[in-house]
Structure 1
Amino acid sequence: MNRRIIPLIMCGGAGTRLWPASREVHPKQFLSLFGARSTFQDTLLRVSDATLFERPVIITNNAYRFMVLEQLAEIGLEADVLLEPMRRDSGPAIAAGAAFAEARDKDAIVLALAADHVVRDTPAFLAACREGLTAAEAGHIVTFGVQPERAATEYGYINPGEVISGKVRAVAKFVEKPDPVTAAGYVEAGYLWNSGNFMFRAAVLTDEYRKVDADSVRAVTDAVTKAGTDLGFVKLDEAAFGSAKSISIDYAVMEKTARAAVVPVACGWSDVGSWHAVWELSSKDGDGNAARGAAVFEDSRNCNVSTDRALVALEGVDDLVVVATQDAVLVSRQQDANGLKRLVAKLKAVAPQVTEDHIRVHRPWGSYQSVDNGDRHQVKRIIVKPGGRLSLQKHHHRAEHWIVVRGTAQVTVNELVKTVHENESVYIPIGAVHRLENPGKIQLELIEVQTGSYFGEDDIIRIEDDYQRS
């Protein structure tokens, strides 16, 4: 086996099925749900063996670009990062990744993976990749069919057909998510769960896509050809990419192509599509209760608690999900994933902020978190990474007072540049041009007290910005 595989990691989705932990600005693929690393990081590490895989390609959107870089740096990996101007579902995303890979190598083999999946048996996953590689080189579009562990109704299924080579089978049929009785029948008949991950020659995927939607393929190819660069990111051309039809790769290609093949695999896979799935993958006590954060259970069974800060105590309840963040609390039944979907849809109408933003807001230089606010004041806790700095900016409606709690700050106020140490403070009047940066080797932590008549983010007038934000 000489040819190596180019991993294509898709991580541009919003993922509100794990609300309130997962939100638009910080979706589930970047959360640490099962230990110190996110599923995005685990996915990258799973395909980091240089004997089998080449440098990965990541496709995401503009809002997540610095989160991607930060999490790459945490695990010591590098990648090419493509930025989608807007979401167009997995079809155009995978087609763009294929076009980019083919420009790098006309015979490129691509492994397209969702960044929010869990694989508990990496050796089994890698064995499936090696099994599928021969079929992909021969011109098949290979998907990975997971051996069912139960009659799941939340997954689509694949009916495997005749043997192609080794363990690789042709795809006789893709079927949609079934009801419980149908799911049990599928499992009995030897159907496989459809994992939504694929391996293919880039040129083959493009050719098969072109047969059913030549205009979208032309649009995506143009978006790659006309792409610009920005701070090391590859920015797909907005006008071209925007003209591609929004559609999943399953509907666009896999359900229409005669080249579909499937590798059966048992690798402890889950798409972590609900809090119940998180519970299934978590460690539990003797009564089946799982906890992430501080939780106490009394006369309670099969409950799942995730809490950022507050202690959660459950008494006399079974089969509940309780998720407590600093601005929202979810109480839900374990099994009703569709109920959460309906709830989030209702929240988007009545309280959209809690589906979009966390109290802690991530920025390329670090993060900030609202602590208190009133009609004429707002208090934030600000964290700046070593070497990070905010934009050179000013405000028309608020003054700011910074108190350094930890680390050392370098502060610019108009023409003055000064160093501010722990337990020291600095005042920035309304209209003053100012900047905050961390010249040290440890995190800079400070408390910011804003006073004035308006505190919206649109009162930040950026004069210079390392991250080229408007």
Structure 2
Amino acid sequence: MSTIHPVILCGGSGTRLWPLSRKSYPKQFVPLIGANSLLQDCADRLRGPAASPYAKPLILTNEAFRFIVTEQLSEIGVDPGPILIEPDGRNTAPAVLAAALYLSQVDPDAIMLVAPSDHVVPDTSAFHEAVAIGADTIEQHQHLITFGITPDQPETGYGYLKLNHAPDAGGAAVPLDHFVEKPDLERAKAMVTDGSYLWNSGIFLFAVRDIIAAFEQHAPDLVEPVKAAVENAKADLGFLRLDPAAWDTVKDISIDYAVMERAANLSVVPYAAGWSDVGSWSAVQELSNPSDSGVASTGEVTTIDCRNVLIRSESPTQEVVAMGLENMIAVAMPDAVLVASMDKAQDVKQAVAALKKKGAKQAEALPVDHRPWGWFESLVIGDRFQVKRIHVHPGAALSLQSHHHRSEHWIVVEGTAKVTVDDDVRLVSENESVYIPLGAVHRMENPGKVPMVLIEVQTGTYLGEDDIVRYEDVYARS
């Protein structure tokens, strides 16, 4: 059997799980269910069965998330294969084609398993068995495979796959008749009763040469610009940046519309062992092992006389108390709180749109700002001062930089910092401090093997993050 190459799509910026998921740090990086993030669970699942491990995963992501991806995969011991950086999001069709064209140069006989990074698939063994069924179908019939989820209820939030006939108990692949857009409730009820309709999971399996041929037949306008973007890609710090000039001419279109709905050689592998795209807070509630009364809680939460609720506190210092609530969602973060009726779970993105319209930074940005070297959060902001907590990973370093409008005081509270201020380089230990004058060229590094944490006090006329002049940067940021 050909080697299976996982392809993880990791560039989304979903808004339906606001305020926890935001553009700066979307849901695939968040531990929504359990201790690991959805990306980590996906990568762990795509290691493959022990008897037949898959190839290293190929990742597609964007500029903003590239270091978050590598950090999270490193935490679970996954050494990724190539990480392709998309200059801009162009939906799933160009991303899948770019992965196929890249793999065709590495292993022309490869089978690629395309999976979004933000789905929940609890039964890993059953998933591997379904992939094996799909791979056998590809070997025998050269079909393109999609995975269909056996519905357990009428669902209006998913598209459906109409099979040629109802699947049998053995889970064999069934030819696809056609795709069905998200239905209304009555139509969804009828399709579930029919038995030959499955939810469209958005997970695909195909031989590299077969999917490239399908693009050449059904979406030829995508092939040349995507091929140029791959062929002219530039290596950068372990990443492969797709050529921006070529990518700029690529159409924004999903693989369903570009290829799958037009191809005749499609089969569906039925899957009934549990799946969710975690597309709403009501889905999170269902996945969070609610009590007999439907109460699901996370963090510092106390509930009294509540039914069918999801209550989450995302700060260890923030106690959330819910009393007498029914069919409600409450998600509390240090800078934003969502309170909504459960039947409005699919409409949270409307709240994000309203916040963006009023210019609220909470619409897209978290209070914690992630960087390649670690992260920081603003603790207090005044007219001419700001206090931050800065966390620097072991061995990491901030850029060599200066500021036009602010000076800084650094107080190390955990670990040891190596500090450069103009020509002076020194080690600063816990409970020691250093002053960075306005205009001084400076850098902080963590030379140790444990995280380094410091408190930074900024004072000046302007405290924006864009007041940085970089002279050197190990992460090649401009």
The TM-score normalised by the length of structure 1 is: 0.98
Alignment of 1:334-349 (within 5 A): 334-349=342-357
Q: 1: distance between equivalents of 2:312 and 2:435? A: 39
Question: How big is each residue's C-alpha offset from its partner over 1:84-142, in whole Å with a ceiling of 9 and x where there is no partner?
Answer: 00000011111111111111111211000000000011111111000000222332110
Match for residue 437 of structure 1 among 441, 445, 458? 445
- 4+ runs deviating over 6 angstroms: 163-166
Which residue number in structure 1 is paired with residue 108 of structure 2?
Answer: 106
Letter in 2 for 1:365: W
Structure 2 SS opposite 1:209: helix
What is the root-mean-square deviation in Å for CA atoms of aligned residues?
1.4
Identity rate, percent: 49
Q: 2: distance between equivalents of 1:230 and 1:7? A: 22
Q: 2: distance between equivalents of 1:338 and 1:364? A: 33
Alignment of 1:15-94 (within 5 A): 15-49=14-48, 51-79=52-80, 80-94=82-96
Q: 2: distance between equivalents of 1:13 and 1:341? A: 14
Q: Which moved more, 1:239-248 or 1:61-70?
A: 239-248
Which residue number in structure 2 is paired with residue 153 of structure 1?
Answer: 156
Question: How big is each residue's C-alpha offset from its partner over 1:36-61, in whole Å with a ceiling of 9 and x where there is no partner?
Answer: 11111111111113614111100000
Structure 1 SS opposite 2:343: coil
Which residue number in structure 1 is paired with residue 307 of structure 2?
Answer: 301
Q: 2: distance between equivalents of 1:146 and 1:332? A: 28
Q: Does 1:188 align with 2:193?
A: yes
**Structure 2 segments unaligned to the other structure (5+ residues):** none
Question: How big is each residue's C-alpha offset from its partner over 1:19-52, in whole Å with a ceiling of 9 and x where there is no partner?
Answer: 0000111000010111211111111111113614
Which residue number in structure 2 is paired with residue 400 of structure 1?
Answer: 408
Structure 2 SS opposite 1:426: strand
Structure 2 SS opposite 1:270: coil
Which residue number in structure 1 is paired with residue 262 of structure 2?
Answer: 256
Q: 2: distance between equivalents of 1:348 and 1:66? A: 26
Q: 1: distance between equivalents of 2:149 and 2:286? A: 17
The TM-score normalised by the length of structure 2 is: 0.96
Q: 2: distance between equivalents of 1:320 and 1:351? A: 27
Question: How big is each residue's C-alpha offset from its partner over 1:170-227, in whole Å with a ceiling of 9 and x where there is no partner?
Answer: 1011101111111111111111010011000112112212223212111111111111
Letter in 1 for 2:136: T
Question: How big is each residue's C-alpha offset from its partner over 1:418-470, in whole Å with a ceiling of 9 and x where there is no partner?
Answer: 11111110000000000000011111011000000001111111110000001
Structure 1 SS opposite 2:375: strand
Q: 2: distance between equivalents of 1:9 and 1:39? A: 11
Q: 1: distance between equivalents of 2:347 and 2:206? A: 36
Verify the 8 A CA contact 1:122 1:267 in the aligned structure 2: no
Which residue number in structure 2 is paired with residue 175 of structure 1?
Answer: 180
Verify the 8 A CA contact 2:15 2:348 in the aligned structure 1: no
**Structure 1 segments unaligned to the other structure (5+ residues):** none
Which residue number in structure 2 is paired with residue 333 of structure 1?
Answer: 341
Which residue number in structure 1 is paired with residue 121 of structure 2?
Answer: 119
Which residue number in structure 2 is paired with residue 139 of structure 1?
Answer: 142
Question: How big is each residue's C-alpha offset from its partner over 1:374-431, in whole Å with a ceiling of 9 and x where there is no partner?
Answer: 1110000000000011000000100000001111011000000011111110000000
Q: Does 1:457 align with 2:465?
A: yes
Letter in 2 for 1:186: M
Letter in 1 for 2:94: P
Letter in 2 for 1:469: R
| Number of positions where the alignment pairs a residue of Structure 1 with one of Structure 2 | 469
Q: 1: distance between equivalents of 2:398 and 2:430? A: 19
Alignment of 1:213-362 (within 5 A): 213-309=219-315, 310-362=318-370
